[in-house]
Structure 1
Amino acid sequence: MVIHHKDGVPPWVKHGHHHRGITISVAECHTIGVALQQRMVKQRARELAVALLNRVWQTGDGASQMAGFTLTHRPSGQPVGEHPLLGEYAVSISHSHSWYAGATSDTAVGIDLQQYRTFGTTAWRYAFAAGEQHWGRVQACAAWAIREAFLKSHGCGLPYRLSDIRIDWHNALVSHPDQLECRQFWLWYSLDWVCALCFPLQGSLMTDTDIVVVPGGSIERQGESHHGE
């Protein structure tokens, strides 16, 4: 796995590479009032996802840039990016309090961001196994994010319990005893939140995926400039 932090176009797109790549972005929204902030964060998360799709997958020819991506949903509720000329690309969205994140890929992908918080008794029973009850806030939020991202990468949620999802911290793998394929995961920590990314394995190789982290502000500014055009 190769991780890049940059403002530019992902290298596999820019240079015509066809190996697997994932682009993610995280941003924050501040507003007055909890209800307004919740609505704004959800809207900004959707806008970020569309901006990522347009930035990463639109080619340099004028035809593909005449129309942009739209965000639609499968019957399961899983979001997907659709373009009239380029077809469909995987996309995933998450938001927590004032923070939001998006990811797009040419393979299945799931992203989940959790602002650090404490969990109540019901949440501990639902999301954590008996041996995980002693975890601190950071590791507990990381595990919650991994499990949510795992389900998102499969396009499913209920009826799966988060506590049934197994995390192999040493090998960065996550699995479920039911018929859900194993995923590799990647974690990104900040002082305020933890963000998990889940994506499929390709055989036993874990070095063929490029992950590009793009600042949310640059993505949104680019989206605004395209909208103005």
Structure 2
Amino acid sequence: MTKVLIVETNVTRYGGTDDPTGLWLGEAAEFVEEMQQAGIDVDYVSPKGGFVPLDPRSMKYTDDAILTIYENPDFIERGLTHTMRPSQIDPANYAAIYYTGGHGVMWDFPDNEELQQIARQIMQQGGYVTSVCHGIAGLLNIKDDQGQYVIAGKKITGFTTAEEIIAGKKSVVPFLNRTVAEAHGAHFTKKRFYSEYAVQDGQLITGQNPFSVRAVAKILVEALTH
């Protein structure tokens, strides 16, 4: 059975501030709905396991589809309340890993070696490593067995510097996605801010912003079912 592992943040605040952040709800919910429609099962993991906070701003960008997933008891239980810890994950069970966004991930995704190992094994067994928006933070530091960054030489995308400026967070975030991606050898591509954009380069599938979730999901479904 094909299964995808969804990665979510445990971070509740922007580093060193009282400003709340967390998972961008739509980046999980829309992806889950696309997987459901394709008959693909999902599991949920977070760096610490357990509770996943929601970025309050993401609640302003909901629709009936997002709220339907949000109200689903399974999503509440497995996706928000009792996510698994990385140590509970057997990568052999998954055809892909999907890193959700929300600014919180910039603090607990980049240097989590357990998550990196899961992603590395999924790639080694021919699976896909995918992300949307700030979720690219989970890909930036993954290295292969030769010590090379897996994004090196690859076309990827993620939340842009222009989008950070518009969101009012450029001075708060610990790094800029494009800066780190290019320092690690990636070809960072983008479209106009807040435009839907997703790109596949081999086993990597990435989306630019919250409006790109379904585009990422559809590329992944196509890759997994054909």
TM-score, normalised to structure 1, is 0.29
Question: Larger helix proportion, structure 1 or 2?
Answer: 2
Bigger relative contact order (CA 8 A; separation at least 6) = 1
Question: Larger strand proportion, structure 1 or 2?
Answer: 1
TM-score, normalised to structure 2, is 0.30
In our comparison, the structure showing a higher alpha carbon Rg is: 1
